Structure formats: structure tokens, C-alpha cells
Structure 1
Amino acid sequence: MSSVPPHGPPNVEAIKPPDLILTGTLDREATHRLCEEAGELLRSADADAPGVLVCDVADLGPPVLAAIDALARLQLTARRAGGRIRLRNPAPDLRELLHLVGLPMEIEMGRRTEQREPPRRVQEAVEARDPPLA
């Protein structure tokens, strides 16, 4: 039994663009607006698949309790609409504060380019005193 392999590179997932981008510091008004927007996005999602709301928090201000409150309210709004939220690129301080307050969040780290050392020079010439290869 044989099958035709799929076209394209194997195991490549497209990165979904974020649904919400959280920037700066969040106050009550911004939190309320974000929750309304999140609810609308999840209600308009496909009814067959559970909605996942991707929130990019890379440019979120310092991790303070107001930010934790906003994320908790967003998560509650998503659950009430039958979905969930996923945080993209949270700062280490924010991840630690979420852990400390006991707020479980799904976290997604964005792909970063790999940093490598520059290639080393390969010895191309053979030294006269090198033994011959067998």
C-alpha cells in the first residue's frame, strides 16, 4: 500500500496573525473595550471549531496587576463565548507574574531567527607532512 506524499514542506504550520494586539499600559476602560472586541471576535468565529483568540502581548507595558486583571477578564470573556485565549510573545516577567498569581494561560512564543556563529574557514590545502589517507 502506498500513498502520495503531500505537496510542500512537511510539518510547516502557518502562524496565525494575532486577533488582538495589547500595547502600553491597560486601564479599566481599555480592558472593557478589549473584552467587548474579544467577545465579538469569538462570536463571529466558526461555530464548528472552538475559537482561539491570539493576543500579542510583546509590546504590553510593565507587568503590573492591571495587566493581569485585563488578561483574566479577557480569558473569562473568551470562556463565556466558548473559546480561549493564547498569549503570544509574553515577556519573562509577565509569564512569571501569571504563574505567581495562579492564572493559567496558553502561551505561544513567536519564531525567532536562529543566531549562529559565522562559518569557519575550511583548510583546503594539504600539508606535506600529513599522512596519506587510506
Structure 2
Amino acid sequence: MVHEWQSGLLSTVCQWTFVRCKLEQVKLYSQAMERTFRDAFLSELEATGMTVAEVARRSGVSKDQLNKLKQRASAKTNVDDAKLVAGAFGKSLDDFLNGSEPSPHLEAIGLLGQLSESERDFLLDAAKAAVARRQQEPQE
């Protein structure tokens, strides 16, 4: 038999638990929203060990602009350059800002960007040959 005061207490505990869960969700969302492009850039530089010069080469964004972004907390970049920089790390801009792992396709594109032209040509030729062999195999 549940007394009225126990039922009221249980209801209050449930309400507070619900509110606490909602506050935790808001806190996590807020923390994710606080991650700036600069924060993501610095984090990726550290995680990958890439240099600013390497990111500049792979992205096409000037080394000077990337150095400013690295050195000044108030530095900003435009969306087009942000997408190029994220792509240099093999990530979409969303994945870059959220700290998510890249999709396998974007990761492959990012890795290709690190290869020399002759290495890319070699891989492209190998991929074409693999597809051609598969197309020549009898269909079951």
C-alpha cells in the first residue's frame, strides 16, 4: 500500500530526475555549440600531427590565413575556406566542428590529398583495373 506522501515524494523525485536529465542535455548541446572553428582546427592539428603548411597545401587556403587562425583566438574564416580546411582533414564541415570521425569516403578523399600525383595516378589505375575485372567476371 502506497501512502499519499510516498506517491507525492515519488512524483517529485521523478520530476527532478527529468529536469536534471534535460539540464544535462542542454549542457552537452551548449558545450558542442561552444566549439569554434578555431577550436576544431587546433584539435585536428594536434590529433593528426599535420602542420599548418600541410593543411594549406592540401586545402588551398593560404598558410598566412591558417597561421592567423592558429595564433589568434579572435581570428575567423569564411564558410568556403572552412569547408576546404575540413576537407583537408578528410571530414565534412559538420564532422569537423562536431569532432566526429570522418565517413570512409571523405577519409579516402583526405588520404588521396596527401599523396603525390604519381601515387594518385597509380591508385586510380589500380581501381579502374579492379572494376574492369569485376565487370568481366560472369554474373551468377
Normalised by the size of structure 1, how large is the TM-score? 0.21
More strand by share: 1
More helix by share: 2
The structure with higher relative contact order (CA 8 Å, sep 6+) is 1
